[in-house]
Amino acid sequence: MKHIPTSLSLTLALFFMVLFSGCTIVKKPGVDARFDIITSDYINPDDYGESRPLNITLFYLTDSSEFLKADYYDLFQAEKNPLAGTLISKSNVLVLPNDHKIHTEEVSKQVGAIGVAYQFRQLEESQWLALIPTPETCFFGINCKSILHNSKIFISIDELDTKTKLVD
């Protein structure tokens, strides 16, 4: 009976460990929120009528109740956070005129809604707030997962108007 040299057996063991480690499934702790953002050439006009960049704030929420009660100044300037009980996280996206931006970020699986606040210069004339419910989808009551797994959020901005839609 022949014995395989120790160095060869170690090399083979290492080879198979590397080979099979590629087959493991790594589960992400969150879900990817995907945004497809399109802007016209004239957005967020300043006092001189010039088109300017626009900051969009994304609020990842457990539910939408507190977000719908808040006004712009509550969200951005209040000393007490009006979303304290429902806010999971928030982030900002800066868009330019005549732009197409794909924005993706990993968020908690607990996100039940995404609030979108557009920080327009002419706030009173603008469509500055949107809400996107993100319920779980289930297959016959099993295999439930966030609708964000298979969807993206489409945002279009033209001057002071916005359209926000969840697309499968």
DSSP code per residue over 34-98: EEEEEEEEEES--TTS----EEEEEEEES-SHHHHH--HHHHHT-SS-TTTTTEEEEEEEEE-TT
Q: In 10 A of CB 90, how many CB atoms? A: 15
Per-residue pLDDT for 53 more than 90?
yes
Looking at residue 124, the DSSP 8-state letter turns out to be G
Residue 17 pLDDT class (50, 70, 90 cuts): low
Main-chain dihedrals φ then ψ at residue 66, nearest 5 degrees = -70, -35
Q: Which of 160, 45, 158, 55 is nearest to 103 (CA)?
A: 55
Overall average pLDDT of the 89-112 stretch: 94
pTM: 0.79
Domains of the chain, by residue range, sit at 29-167
Per-residue pLDDT for 27 more than 80?
no
Residues of the chain with pLDDT > 70, as a percent, come to: 83
Per-residue confidence (pLDDT) for residue 7, from 0 to 100: 63
Residues of the chain with pLDDT > 90, as a percent, come to: 54
CATH of 29-167, one of 3.50.50.60, 2.60.40.4150, 1.10.3080.10, 1.20.58.1180: 2.60.40.4150
How far apart are the C-alpha atoms of 38 and 154, rounded to whole Å? 8
